[in-house]
C-alpha cells in the first residue's frame, strides 16, 4: 500500500499539470496580489510569546471531520483576536477540504503572515502561492528530493516568500541548506501509523540549526503541551485541530 505522502504526491502532480493549462504562470504573475510585499512569518514567531501559527483546516486523513462547514473569514478574525503570530491555511481540497479561495479570503481579512500549507511538488505551485496571497510556503522533506528542495526554496526566495521546511526524521535535515530556508518544523505525527510522539520531536530538536526558528507541528491539543514544547526549546507551535474544534463548539 502506498504511503499517504506518495498518494498525495501523485494526485498533486496530475492536478498541477491541469492547472498549468488552465492558468499559465504568466496569468498568475498578472494578478494583483503577485506584486504585494510579503509579511515576515519567522520574525512574527520570534517576537511572540508562544509563536502560535494558528491553522485553518476542515478535515485531514487522520480525522475526516474536524469542522467541515467552517467559515474561513470568521476563523481568521478569531485567530487575529487571539494574537496568533501567523496563520496557516490548508489549500489541498482532496485530502483536507481546503482551497486557494480560502487563502484569498484569509488574506482579505487578516493582517497576520499567512503560510500556504499544501504539498508542493512543482515550481508552478510557488508562483500560485504568491498570486493568491501567501507570505510563506511549506516544503516537506519526506516528500521531496534534495535537488527539488534547493530549486523550490530558491524560487520562493526570488518571489519574496519565506520557507517553512518540515521534517519527520533526522536524515531529512541534511537534505536542505539552512541558509535557503526561514523556519524549520518538526512534525510530531508518524505518517505510517498517524501516531503522535512528542519525545521523538524533542530528540530531533537537539539536532536542528540553532539560528532558525523551530516549530512543533501536529497533534498538539492542549496548553500544557504547548508550554512544554516551548520550554524545551521550540520557538513556536503550529496548531490546527484543537483551535478548529474550539471554533466548532462556539458556533
The Cα 166–Cα 183 span in angstroms is 9
The Cα 196–Cα 153 span in angstroms is 28
CB 133 within 8 A of CB 112: no
The residues, ordered by sequence, that sit 6+ positions from 42 with a Cβ below 8 Å of its Cβ are: 162, 182, 183, 213
Return the closest-CA partner of residue 134 out of 20, 206, 36, 211. Answer: 36
The residues carrying an active-site annotation are 55, 57, 117, 166, 187, 217-218
Return the closest-CA partner of residue 62 out of 233, 210, 187. Answer: 187
- Tell me the three cell numbers of residue 71: 467559515
Residue at grid coordinates 537534505? 175
What is the chain's Cα-based Rg? Answer: 17
The residues, ordered by sequence, that sit 6+ positions from 43 with a Cβ below 8 Å of its Cβ are: none
Q: H or E stretch including 163?
A: strand 162-167
Amino acid at each position: 500500500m502506498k504511503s499517504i505522502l506518495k498518494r498525495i504526491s501523485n494526485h498533486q502532480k496530475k492536478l498541477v499539470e491541469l492547472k498549468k493549462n488552465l492558468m499559465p504562470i504568466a496569468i498568475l504573475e498578472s494578478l494583483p496580489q503577485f506584486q504585494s510585499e510579503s509579511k515576515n512569518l519567522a520574525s512574527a514567531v520570534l517576537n511572540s510569546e508562544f509563536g502560535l501559527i494558528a491553522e485553518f483546516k476542515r478535515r485531514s486523513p487522520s480525522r475526516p471531520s474536524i469542522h467541515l462547514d467552517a467559515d474561513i473569514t470568521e476563523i481568521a478574525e478569531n485567530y487575529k483576536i487571539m494574537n496568533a503570530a501567523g496563520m496557516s491555511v490548508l489549500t489541498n481540497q482532496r485530502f483536507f477540504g481546503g482551497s486557494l479561495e480560502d487563502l484569498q479570503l484569509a488574506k482579505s481579512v487578516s493582517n497576520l503572515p499567512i503560510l500556504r500549507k499544501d504539498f508542493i511538488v512543482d515550481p508552478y505551485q510557488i508562483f500560485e502561492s504568491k498570486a493568491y496571497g501567501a507570505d510563506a510556503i511549506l516544503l516537506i522533506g519526506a516528500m521531496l528530493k534534495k535537488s527539488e528542495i534547493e530549486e523550490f526554496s530558491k524560487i520562493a526566495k526570488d518571489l519574496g516568500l519565506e520557507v517553512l521546511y518540515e521534517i519527520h526524521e533526522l536524515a531529512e535535515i541534511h537534505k536542505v541548506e539552512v541558509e535557503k530556508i526561514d523556519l524549520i518544523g518538526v512534525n510530531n505525527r508518524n505518517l505510517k501509523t498517524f501516531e503522535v510522539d512528542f519525545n521523538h520531536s524533542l530528540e530531533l530538536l537537539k539536532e536542528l540549526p540553532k539560528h532558525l526558528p523551530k516549530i512543533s507541528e501536529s497533534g498538539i491539543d492542549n496548553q500544557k503541551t504547548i508550554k512544554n514544547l516551548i520550554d524545551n526549546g521550540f520557538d513556536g507551535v503550529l496548531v490546527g485541530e484543537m483551535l478548529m474544534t474550539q471554533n466548532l463548539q462556539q458556533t
